[in-house]
Amino acid sequence: MAKAYTQNNRNEGRDFMILTTQENINVYTDNGWWGTKTTQDYLQALVNQSPNKEALIDPANKASLCNTPSYSLTYEELQHKIDQVATALHEQGIGKDDIVALQLPNIVELVISYFAVLKVGAISSPFPVQFREFECLQLLQSLQAKAVITMQQINERQYANMYTQLQPQVPSLKTVFIFDGELDGGIHIDLETQAAHPLPEVNVTANDIFTICWTSGTEGKPKGVPRSHNEWFVSAYASVDAAKLTAADRILLTFPLVNMAGIGGVLVPWILSGGTLVLHHPFDFPTFLGQIGTHRITYTLVPPSLLTMMIKNEAILASIDTNALRAIGTGSAPITPWLIHSWKEIHGVDLINYFGSNEGATFLSDAEDVPDAGLRAIYLPRFGPKELSWHNRVGKMVISKLVDVDTGEEITEPNHPGELKIKGPGVFSGYWQAPEINAKAFDVDGYFSTGDLFEIIVENDEARYYRVVGRLKDIIVRSGMKISPLELEEIIQTHPSIVEVAVIPYPHKAHGEISCACVVVAEGQTVTLEEVIKLLTDKKIASFKLPEKLMIVDTLPRNAVGKVIKSALIDQVYDEQVGV
């Protein structure tokens, strides 16, 4: 584990922010896994090679999201917009290793902001647009962010005013940049009129931090996940190889551009392959269908529930042109062999089964490495053992093992569930400013403990696959967004009628999982789901975290030392629901 360099370190002569060790840099570079080019270097090469090629297209429903023009940009035009925003940042003193928070939907301005922040040598930290005051304040204080780039209004919600109101509690936050109008105490960046000036050269290496994304954990507070350019490239190679992306591809981004799915699964693969990126946000089914046909999309990401609905309603797909579509990435919920087979047989589309994380877990079953639909739906390649070979280049870069959760011994036999541990050039170097958490998250050999339970599967006398069994960590994943039960429990517990509370996952067809609050109420009292939601919304909690079920129970099951046994509680709740 490497030390996280802070503002003090920067003032002691270190002029770039690198978290990984020099030993790792040497090993990964010598193996050919890491190079010297940054994300901006790859973009500049595309500008030089194909200046007039269509590069980036706004969502078709942008007007309903925010009050800025819709853009369709060539690579040369994109670079000019980046230069405009970089000039505005530089003029306000944003420079090397400063941290800039980004809170924008999937629109052209968000992509521009990532590269503009990079051009001045700063670091981007994207916030989901669902985050409100409660989450944003925690993140800004943890980052000591110097600036925010956002909008005055997104989907009827005020954002810029929220940040100006938070500024007194975040001394480091000097500037709020907005794209959609004037703001007292803020800076308006008008992409139609903003000047673009030559800027001083900044020494940014491929091992510098590119982004700090956020993930929830059992600790109750969001954790920052810094990732360098080289670390993102490794995750991106997986998608480039699995989807066989080239400069001819037209990619539709449907996942928020704030984490692994959006950045590692689409943004960076787009830059590496040099195709055209079409943006979509928030998920709107009619708009999505229109974009597939209008832009002749060749590759996109779609959750399993939607893929199932589409293939079962052929009239939906018959109304649009899907002839260009050849591959779809999916994951975050189980898929079936029937689903993979149907998409291939009816529409000629290969489904890729993804399993990934912000920290760097990168496992995926594609049509080349796992051609059998039955295996691809339920198994993942066992990346790690040297004796196993894969066409996807990350098969050599991901180093993995399973460890027995009770004994700590490595598992080599099949059908024995154990915790997945990973290391390698795509795995991050540690959570942002969290030494105590990092000490627990990494073992003495440098493996990161994912908290996911896997088991080895033998097919044709070869221990070639993994199967996902479940999770050790107490995390709920709703449509790919992670929810910390502890964060909710600490607030719900303050309700005067509630004696105890435990928040558990509850299965949901569309979202995979939703939050279910299980509460013990005081004698003679009662409580409703609406009351719990109001308690949380009064704290400005993001709406995707809100419980969507409430169960009143007599007691919470506990073990000998008084810890709530959530597995037993989950079984109890499920049994009661089945009996209703």
- Determine the pLDDT at residue 317: 87
Q: pLDDT digits over 440-458, tens only?
A: 999 999 999 999 889 999 9
Say what the pTM is.
0.85
Cα–Cα distance for residue pair 449/442, rounded to 1 Å? 6
pLDDT at 564: 80
Average pLDDT, the chain: 91
Q: SS3 of 129, please?
A: coil
The Cα 452–Cα 454 span in angstroms is 6
The DSSP secondary-structure symbol of 53 reads S
- pLDDT for the residue numbered 563: 66
**Same CATH fold assignment for domains 32-54+68-237 and 476-579:** no
CATH topology of domain 32-54+68-237: Rossmann fold (3.40.50)
pLDDT at 476: 87
How far is 291 from 285, CA to CA, in rounded Å?
10
**What's residue 9's pLDDT?**
37
> What pLDDT, in 10s, does the model give residues 525-555?
999 999 999 999 999 999 999 999 999 999 8
Q: Residue 579 pLDDT more than 50?
A: no
Sequence-ordered list of residues with C-beta below 8 angstroms from that of 153, at least 6 positions apart, any chain:
66, 67, 159, 180
Could you tell me the two tokens for 345? 């047989």
Q: Where are the domains of the chain?
A: 32-54+68-237, 476-579
Kindly indicate the confidence band of residue 14, based on its pLDDT and cuts at 50, 70 and 90. Answer: very low
Which helix or strand (DSSP H or E) is residue 466 part of?
Answer: strand 462-471
Report the C-alpha gap between 311 and 342 in whole angstroms: 7
Of the candidates 280, 330, 283, the one whose C-alpha atom is nearest the C-alpha of residue 308 is: 330
Cα separation of 106 and 347, whole Å? 28
Tokens of 425: 């050039």
Provide the angle, in degrees to the nearest 10, between the axes of the packed helices 75-91 and 39-49. Answer: 140
> Which residues are CB-contacts of 274 (< 8 A; sequence separation ≥ 6)?
46, 49, 50, 53, 246, 247
Residues 156-169: what's their mean pLDDT? Answer: 95
The predicted pLDDT at position 559 comes to 61
Q: What percent of the chain has pLDDT over 90?
A: 76
Beta-bridge partner residues of 552: 519
Does CATH place domain 476-579 in 3.30.300.30? yes
Q: What confidence score (pLDDT) does residue 567 get?
A: 82
Residue 561 has pLDDT above 60, yes or no: no
Residue 169 has pLDDT above 90, yes or no: yes
* Lowest-confidence region among 69-78, 88-97, 217-226, 403-412: 217-226
DSSP letters for 163-219: HHHHGGG-TT--EEEESSS--TTSEE--TTT------------TTSEEEEEEE--TT
pLDDT: which is higher, 208 or 183: 208
